[in-house]
């Protein structure tokens, strides 16, 4: 018997037999074609893209019918990428100018896009790379005539085990035969994880070394509550997990009942729960999970699939689409947060040695005013179609805020002269993501309409820890007293102004921190859509007096271990069955 720890992404406990699935990547031969073959290769490309598009539409409709609207929305991204003119044109140019086969051109351009996603320094974008690989595999399958015969012959009670599983592979699984999913790679917010949750299939990802330890047919226990896999369990362990299965079933049922209920504490305090998105199509998931709107619209994707920066019209169409889908609910747009990534570094004559401390986020936008103005004009124009807020990322000094606001004011005057409608009272705020901004939050509050605390970067910059560096990742501790102090400082400054203050980092979607954040005074939290129900469960289980008492107690601690232990203990008291995966040490 062996126990492997991974990341719990879809709750539940099952016992099944391992079914190994190979990698989604194909080996594409490198071959240069003659000029006479170019036209034929372009035709093959277009046919393959059309074929892949038809498959995606069929899969989307099947997923919508079987699993619902939220997981079906995932494939809007796939369909949109196939229609992206910048990406398709780049592939065609590689065939025409580089004399590459259609297969090679597709593989190269899709891998460029995957690399850009993975170098964004953002977990969400890294996981989007898996969607791109999924689509690449589908297009190459069409070009190379490959089929997934193995998945078509699954025995009943199968647990899918893979180094990496794409969302379309997951959505196509036969739920009458598959009882669980395990992968070496992946994270909580990846689309494969979302599909697994929608299928109600216990799943654990990020197992790292599982594929090398398992053979087809091995008996497995999948604990999707605690993120544990047990290989070849003994009878005593099997009996123990049968009992856990029943407790898990009851807790899942309790969470499913919350999506349509209000997010309000036991003593009547209303808390806004918002969603973080990258694409307008994800708004369906926000609303399906009971979200009140979008608290963070990341806009960087619009730069990543094209050779040229997005135009004002590109921005405008995306923002108006988001407002249409929200149906009058609020939309908060973060201006471009590029920098510290391959996209920007490749475009510099002299790449930065330490880009995470370089021309990043608002600094990058102010250094490229033509692109920044195109985005700001589009945001202003979109504000005529619904409630929009704008916020500037990674602001570290007051001058950056003032420059951004001045640019917005100038563009507003331009629109007025042109007779183009926009919201003249559109709120403009800042993201508090660096210690300097947090410590100067009183000053910033005097010139901002609202704050949004971005704890992912705030933790990283406060503790001088790159969470992507596995050598020091253990030092990345949101519960560190210094981080808690800075969050409390920002909330107090906002309250004193008074202006609205939200929190949109990973802390917002972690129920371990919910009571602390409410106790410090936060009334708006923004998170990945599928995290909304569990946070709502915490909120509906507590009073503000409980939360404030916990916040006062935690404020006296001098170590992250003390803070985290206290928070887990309080969460455990609420319901150890429902919150078991978060309170497990």
Query: Are 556 and 572 contacting, i.e. CB atoms less than 8 angstroms apart?
Result: no
The mean-pLDDT minimum among 244-253, 289-298, 398-407, 482-491 falls in 244-253
Higher pLDDT, 116 or 405: 405
H/E/C letters for each residue in 165-187? Answer: CCHHHHHCCCCCCEEEEEECCCC
The set of residues, in sequence order, having a beta carbon less than 8 Å from that of 271 and lying 6+ positions away, is 263, 264, 265, 518, 523, 524, 525, 539
Confidence of residue 70 (pLDDT cuts 50, 70, 90): low
111-120, 322-331, 437-446: segment of lowest average pLDDT: 111-120
Q: Could you give the strand order of the β-sheet that contains 7-10, starting from the edge strand earlier in sequence?
A: 2-5, 228-231, 219-223, 13-21, 158-162, 178-183, 203-205, 7-10
pLDDT for position 342? 44
Question: Do residues 363 and 419 share a domain?
Answer: yes
| Catalytic member of 207, 336, 501, 504 | 504
Do 81 and 137 fall into the same domain? Answer: yes
Please give the residue that has the higher pLDDT: either 561 or 107. Answer: 561
In this structure, the answer to whether residues 83 and 113 fall within a common structural domain is yes
pLDDT of residue 462: 95
Percent of the chain surpassing pLDDT 70: 85
Examine residue 303 and state whether it is found in any structural domain, yes or no.
Answer: yes
pLDDT at 23 over 60: no
Contact status, residue 195 vs residue 160, Cβ threshold 8 Å: no
Has residue 110 been placed in a domain? yes
Mean per-residue pLDDT, 229-246 = 87
Using a pLDDT cut of 90, give the percent of the chain over it. Answer: 43
Ranking 35-39, 154-158, 358-362 by mean pLDDT, the lowest is: 358-362
Interior angle at CA 478, CA 269 and CA 540, nearest 5:
20
Q: At what angle do helices 560-574 and 481-496 cross, to 10 degrees?
A: 70
Q: At which of 128, 144, 160 does a domain end? A: 144
Give residue 59's pLDDT. Answer: 77
pLDDT score of 181: 93
SS3 content of the chain, % helix, strand, coil (to 5): 55, 15, 35
Give the pLDDT band (50/70/90) at residue 375. very high
CATH number at residue 404: 3.20.20.60
Domain boundary among 99, 124, 144: 144
Residue with the bigger pLDDT between 262 and 61: it is: 262
Identify the weakest region by mean pLDDT among 205-219, 400-414, 473-487. 205-219
CA pair distance 561, 203, nearest whole angstrom = 29
pLDDT value of residue 189: 53
Q: Which residue has the tokens 């719990």?
A: 8
13 and 159 share one domain: yes
Query: Would you state the structure tokens that stand for residue 231, as one six-digit string?
Result: 């290989």
Q: What is the CATH number of the domain that holds 206?
A: 3.50.30.10
What's the pLDDT at 434? 96
Task: Tell me the CATH number at 67.
Answer: 1.10.274.10
Residue 455 in domain: no
Average pLDDT over residues 18-23: 76
Residues 393 and 343 occupy one common structural domain: yes
Task: Please tell me whether residues 72 and 90 are part of one structural domain.
Answer: yes
Count Cα neighbours of 426 within 13 Å in the Cβ-side half-sphere. 29
The C-alpha R_g of the chain, in whole angstroms, comes to 24
Q: How many CB atoms lie within 10 A of CB 515?
A: 27
In sequence order, which residues have a C-beta less than 8 Å from that of residue 552 and are 6 or more positions away? Answer: 519
Residue 554 and residue 484 in contact, taking contact as beta carbons nearer than 8 Å: yes
Instruction: Please write the tens of the pLDDT for every residue from 279-314.
Output: 787 898 899 889 999 999 988 877 765 667 889 999
Same domain, 358 and 407: yes
504 belongs to the catalytic site? yes
First to last CA, the chain: 21
Q: How long a stretch of residues is the chain? A: 585
Instruction: Examine the domain organization and report whether 111 and 41 are in the same domain.
Output: yes
**Last residue in a domain, options 206, 235, 264:** 235
Q: How far apart are CA 388 and CA 487, in angstroms?
A: 25
Q: Is there a single domain that holds both residue 212 and residue 354?
A: no
Same structural domain, 133 and 41: yes
Question: Which of 191, 364, 385, 480 does the annotation list as catalytic?
Answer: 191
pLDDT at residue number 337: 87
Taking the C-alpha atoms of residue 556 and residue 538, their distance in angstroms, rounded to an integer, is 23
Q: What is the tens place of the pLDDT at every residue in 88-126?
A: 888 989 898 888 888 888 888 888 887 777 766 555 566
For residue 24, name the pLDDT band (cuts at 50, 70, 90). Answer: very low
Query: How many independent structural domains does the chain possess?
Result: 3
Minimum mean pLDDT among 104-118, 332-346, 565-579: which range?
Answer: 332-346
From the list 487, 511, 515, 472, the residue with the least C-alpha distance to 255 is 511
Mean pLDDT of the chain: 85
Closest by CA position to 196, among listed 6, 5, 8, 58: 8
Calculate mean pLDDT across residues 164-174.
77
Residue 201 counted as domain residue? yes
Q: What's the whole-number mean pLDDT along residues 481-490?
A: 97
The answer as to whether 109 is a domain residue is: yes
Cβ neighbours for 369, distance < 8 A, ≥ 6 positions apart? 407
Instruction: Give the pLDDT confidence score for residue 147 in this predicted structure.
Output: 47
Domain limits for position 414? 298-426
Kindly tell me if the per-residue pLDDT of 372 is higher than 90. yes
């Amino acid at each position: 018997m062996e126990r492997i720890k991974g990341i719990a992404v879809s709750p539940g406990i099952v016992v099944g037999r391992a079914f190994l699935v190979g990698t989604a990547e194909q080996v594409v031969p490198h071959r240069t074609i003659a000029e006479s073959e170019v036209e034929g290769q372009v035709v093959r490309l277009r046919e393959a893209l059309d074929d892949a598009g038809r498959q995606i539409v069929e899969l989307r409709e099947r997923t919508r019918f079987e699993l619902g609207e939220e997981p079906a929305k995932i494939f809007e991204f796939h369909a949109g990428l196939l229609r992206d003119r910048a990406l398709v044109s780049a592939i065609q140019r590689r065939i025409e100018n580089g004399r590459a086969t259609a297969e090679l051109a597709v593989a190269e351009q899709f891998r460029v896009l995957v690399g850009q996603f993975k170098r964004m320094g953002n977990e969400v974008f890294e996981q989007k790379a898996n969607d791109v690989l999924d689509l690449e595999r589908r297009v190459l399958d069409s070009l190379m005539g490959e089929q997934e015969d193995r998945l078509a012959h699954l025995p009943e009670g199968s647990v899918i085990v893979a180094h990496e599983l794409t969302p379309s592979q997951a959505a196509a699984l036969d739920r009458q035969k598959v009882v669980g999913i395990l992968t070496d790679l992946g994270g909580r917010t990846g689309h494969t994880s979302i599909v697994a949750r929608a299928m109600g299939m216990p799943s654990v990802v990020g197992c790292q070394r599982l594929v090398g330890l398992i053979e087809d047919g091995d008996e497995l226990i999948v604990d999707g509550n605690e993120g544990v896999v047990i290989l070849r369990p003994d009878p005593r362990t099997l009996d123990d997990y049968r009992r856990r299965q029943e407790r898990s079933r009851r807790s899942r049922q309790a969470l499913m009942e919350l999506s349509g209920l209000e997010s309000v504490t036991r003593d009547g305090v209303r808390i806004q729960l918002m969603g973080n998105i990258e694409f307008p199509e994800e708004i369906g998931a926000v609303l399906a999970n009971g979200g009140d709107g979008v608290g963070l619209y990341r806009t960087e994707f619009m730069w990543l699939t094209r050779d040229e920066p997005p135009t004002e019209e590109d921005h405008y169409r995306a923002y108006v689409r988001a407002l249409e889908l929200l149906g009058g609910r609020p939309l908060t747009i973060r201006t471009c947060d590029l920098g510290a990534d391959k996209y920007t570094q490749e475009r510099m004559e002299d790449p930065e040695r330490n880009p995470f401390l370089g021309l990043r986020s608002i600094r990058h936008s102010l250094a490229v005013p033509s692109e920044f103005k195109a985005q700001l004009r589009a945001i202003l124009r979109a504000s005529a179609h619904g409630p929009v807020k704008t916020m500037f990322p990674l602001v570290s000094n007051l001058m950056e805020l003032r420059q951004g606001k001045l640019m917005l004011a100038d563009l507003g005057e331009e629109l007025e002269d042109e007779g183009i409608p926009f919201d003249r009272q559109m709120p403009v705020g800042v993201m508090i993501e660096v210690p300097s901004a947090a410590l100067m939050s009183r000053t910033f509050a005097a010139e901002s309409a609202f704050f949004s605390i971005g704890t992912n970067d705030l933790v990283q910059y406060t503790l001088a820890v790159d969470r992507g560096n596995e050598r020091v990742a253990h030092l990345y501790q949101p519960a560190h007293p210094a981080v808690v102090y800075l969050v409390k400082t920002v909330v107090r400054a906002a309250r004193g102004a008074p202006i609205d203050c939200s929190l949109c980092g990973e802390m917002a979607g972690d129920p371990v921190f919910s009571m602390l954040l409410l106790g410090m005074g936060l009334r708006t939290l923004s998170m990945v859509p599928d995290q909304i129900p569990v946070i709502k469960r915490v909120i509906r289980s507590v009073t503000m007096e409980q939360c404030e008492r916990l916040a006062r107690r935690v404020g006296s601690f001098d170590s992250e271990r003390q803070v985290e232990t206290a928070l887990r203990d309080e969460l455990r008291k609420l319901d150890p069955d429902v919150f078991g995966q978060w309170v497990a040490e």
